[in-house]
Amino acid sequence: MFGFLNINKPRGETSRTVVNSVQKLVRPFKVGHAGTLDPLATGVLVVCVGPATRLTQFVQRMPKTYLGTFRLGVESDTEDLEGQVIPVEGAEPVDRSQLESVLKEFVGQIQQLPPRYSALKVNGRRAYKLARAGADFELNPRTITIESISLVDFTYPEFKIELECSSGTYVRSLGRDIGRRLGSGAIMTNLTRTAIGNFSITDSISPIGIGVESIRENLVAAQDRLDDLSYIAVPNTQLELFANGYTWEPKSPLTDGQVGAVDESGRLLAILNRKAPDCYTPKINFSKYWLEQTQRGLGL
């Protein structure tokens, strides 16, 4: 139980509910997710199983692709259908050319104010809990990157876009800002995350009826999806040394930054940091896990 599950989260379910359903089946292994989806949203939820929970940061920084649907002429406190929807006074109809022109303004690196109903923390408390309690608080704008936006469908007052964006982007807040730029306001009515990096919705599985065997069958090896890492092969005879925090000196120089170390079977042993020009040390170490599997007769 070491790898990633690409799950298609259903509408109405929280990300935590999906994680908990997997957790019950694979105990005592840990389970976590690498990027939450709101209950309203569907699509790719990468669930990390076992030691792979230590690799969430690598999945979280992968670009995300979404299909989002929005309604012009209204706003809500949650920026989507689940809040109190209020018509925007004086909002006038928008045509396709106006919308396409405004969409172009949001491509690139931009500042975005996160929604008040979000899981961000303010002085140690979740923003959505403060918002529900009617508390007065401020969130700071964040820098995000919108790689691309394309208009998929438009019949006023509804429009649908596909976008690729960086981690930390709130799509409902993007819709809010597009609507306000048009002088109309907008709320998100539907959202599907179609990809996180190389995790595609076409390869995802449903959490409904999932079992231990289907988890094993669909578990993706960690090293198969961490495309932004370079990998080096380490002899199996070094497994125990790596398990003890062995510092490795390769015969030839490696790339700068972090690299992945794999054994002769291609299993991920560690994420290495460059300690010196010709010296690497484990930053995230899985060698002890594989050593235990080998000693139990489940490994090499």
Q: Which domains does the chain have, with CATH numbers?
A: 3-62+198-221 (3.30.2350.10), 64-194 (3.30.2350.10), 229-295 (2.30.130.10)
**pTM confidence score:** 0.89
Q: So what's the pLDDT on residue 300?
A: 42
**Mean pLDDT of the region 251-262:** 72
Q: Within the chain, where are the H helices?
A: 15-26, 56-60, 96-105, 127-132, 171-181, 212-218, 239-243, 287-295
Indicate if the pLDDT at residue 266 is higher than 60: yes
Q: So what's the pLDDT on residue 256?
A: 64
Indicate if the pLDDT at residue 252 is higher than 70: no
| Percentage of residues in the chain having pLDDT higher than 70 | 94
Mean pLDDT of the chain: 90
**Active-site residue, selected from the candidate residues 38, 80, 177, 263:** 38
Indicate if the pLDDT at residue 224 is higher than 90: no
Indicate if the pLDDT at residue 255 is higher than 80: no
Q: Bridge partners of 75?
A: 86
Q: So what's the pLDDT on residue 250?
A: 67
- In this structure, of 76-90, 106-120, 139-153, 223-237, the range with the lowest mean pLDDT score is 223-237
Residue with tokens 């689940």: 82
Bridge pairing between strands 42-49 and 186-196: parallel
Is 38 marked active-site? yes
Q: So what's the pLDDT on residue 299?
A: 46
**Mean pLDDT of the region 260-284:** 82
DSSP 3-state of 230: strand
